[in-house]
Chain A
């Protein structure tokens, strides 16, 4: 992060090598076009560069910080582009084979994320996907799916608690 603060080329390259594909993939799945994903990726790394001093490693991992920035920027964009055609969500089915050394940690995280999602009921997983991956509010989900708003909020809460418990084994939450 110190290198990033100084605008060090190698630091930027290293950060991008580790997380660039991840952020780009998130952007592509949430926003639906390669152009939007590229813009989002650039914005995430620019934000990280400008605010590197605010990253507190005692409160979370770098990947968490970057993904939070990416998700917030993507949701902001989804919500201001009214009428945007929300892309079909594609969750990874299995861990890709032949990982490179640089990607190993990311693949472990991906595996954990998929396992955490699998700990949810179908109804919870559907709500989490609509909220996190499609940027829908609880009210929008309730109206779209014909579910009482209170039920949506309760299920989202229970889903988050389950996912958090599923991640406790990682010693991260």
Chain B
């Protein structure tokens, strides 16, 4: 892990300004998922940078919005108005470059999410997969598993995913005949979004587990009590 204080500040400043790309963005992803949650100084730096970055928006010249905007907003907030389903994330962020903004992903084993181009392609593929009539969408805790018959990969997608407690991370396993295979870790970005392409054939596994785990916990099997199963098996079984 990075121990260069100036480099960490540089990455955190770039992260809050959204100015990172390429290797810097990947490095920041790792920093944010593996180091910052457990480092008080870095969390304070990140919080401080986020405050001042947000405050920069106050500097723009004020423009009066149209009178019709508030009534339109109210209509969208009506209790019976349909809320966007998680899958509408694809519609909201349909542009492939937007995937670059999904930060906080840890790259591990078969979770491939650190390269902007790969993410963009994966995002487009996931949208196509989700649109299929035979697509399977299963809620697994805070995210949704999206797969389809005959496809040797699947996706975890989420919106409004709460960040885990400090020092913790979401951890993913696949289970087959009682044997767990660690897939990787993830964190939602600052808007609570998660998008993970996973190169395992879901048809070859009995279950998918997701758990909120201490960052330094062993990856053999869930150790926490906060976990979810896609097919109903239990880590303790």
Q: How far is the CB of A50 from chain B (nearest CB, A)?
A: 6
Also in contact, A80 and B59, with CB within 8 A (given A138-B20, A160-B49): no
Q: Are B69 and A38 in contact (CB under 8 A)?
A: yes
Also in contact, A113 and B21, with CB within 8 A (given A13-B70, A80-B95, A80-B96): no
Q: Is B72 an interface residue (CB 8 A)?
A: yes
Q: Is A21 an interface residue (CB 8 A)?
A: yes
Q: How far is the CB of B40 from chain A (nearest CB, A)?
A: 13
Q: Are B100 and A79 in contact (CB under 8 A)?
A: yes
Q: Tell me the residues in window 1-60 of chain A with beta carbons closer than 8 Å to chain B beta carbons.
A: 7, 9, 12-13, 16, 20-22, 24-26, 28-29, 34, 37-38, 41-43, 45-47, 49-51, 54, 59-60
Also in contact, A67 and B19, with CB within 8 A (given A12-B73, A157-B6): no
Q: Are B18 and A75 in contact (CB under 8 A)?
A: yes
**Complex Cα spacing A34 to B69, Å:** 11
Q: Tell me the residues in window 104-154 of chain A with beta carbons closer than 8 Å to chain B beta carbons.
A: 106, 109-110, 112-114, 116-117, 128, 131-133, 135-141, 153-154
Q: Are B66 and A34 in contact (CB under 8 A)?
A: yes
A-B CB contacts (within 8 Å), total count: 222
Q: How far is the CB of A86 from chain B (nearest CB, A)?
A: 14
Q: How far is the CB of A89 from chain B (nearest CB, A)?
A: 8
Q: Are B62 and A21 in contact (CB under 8 A)?
A: yes
Q: Are B10 and A154 in contact (CB under 8 A)?
A: yes
Q: Is A96 an interface residue (CB 8 A)?
A: yes
Q: Is A98 an interface residue (CB 8 A)?
A: no
Q: Are A25 and B63 in contact (CB under 8 A)?
A: yes
Which residues in A have their C-beta under 8 angstroms from that of B19? 131, 136-138, 141, 153, 156
B50-58, B147-155, B177-185: which lies at the interface: B50-58
Q: Are A37 and B59 in contact (CB under 8 A)?
A: no
Q: How far is the CB of B41 from chain A (nearest CB, A)?
A: 14
Q: Is B47 an interface residue (CB 8 A)?
A: yes
Also in contact, A164 and B97, with CB within 8 A (given A7-B78, A91-B59, A138-B24): no
Smallest CB gap from B48: residue in A: A173
Q: Which DSSP category, helix, strand, loop or mixed, fits chain B's interface? A: helix
Q: Is B223 an interface residue (CB 8 A)?
A: no
Q: Are A76 and B66 in contact (CB under 8 A)?
A: no
Q: Are B57 and A80 in contact (CB under 8 A)?
A: no
Q: Is A85 an interface residue (CB 8 A)?
A: no
Q: How far is the CB of B15 from chain A (nearest CB, A)?
A: 10
Smallest CB gap from A162: residue in B: B52
Q: Are A96 and B62 in contact (CB under 8 A)?
A: yes
Q: Are B13 and A91 in contact (CB under 8 A)?
A: no
Which residues in A have their C-beta under 8 angstroms from that of B101? 72, 75-76, 79
Which residues in A have their C-beta under 8 angstroms from that of B191? 47, 51, 69, 72-73
Other than the known A54-B160, A132-B57, A139-B21, what 18 A-B pairs have Cβ atoms closer than 8 Å? A22-B58, A24-B63, A25-B61, A43-B92, A51-B191, A68-B50, A70-B57, A71-B54, A80-B95, A91-B61, A109-B58, A110-B59, A113-B57, A131-B17, A132-B17, A138-B14, A160-B16, A167-B52
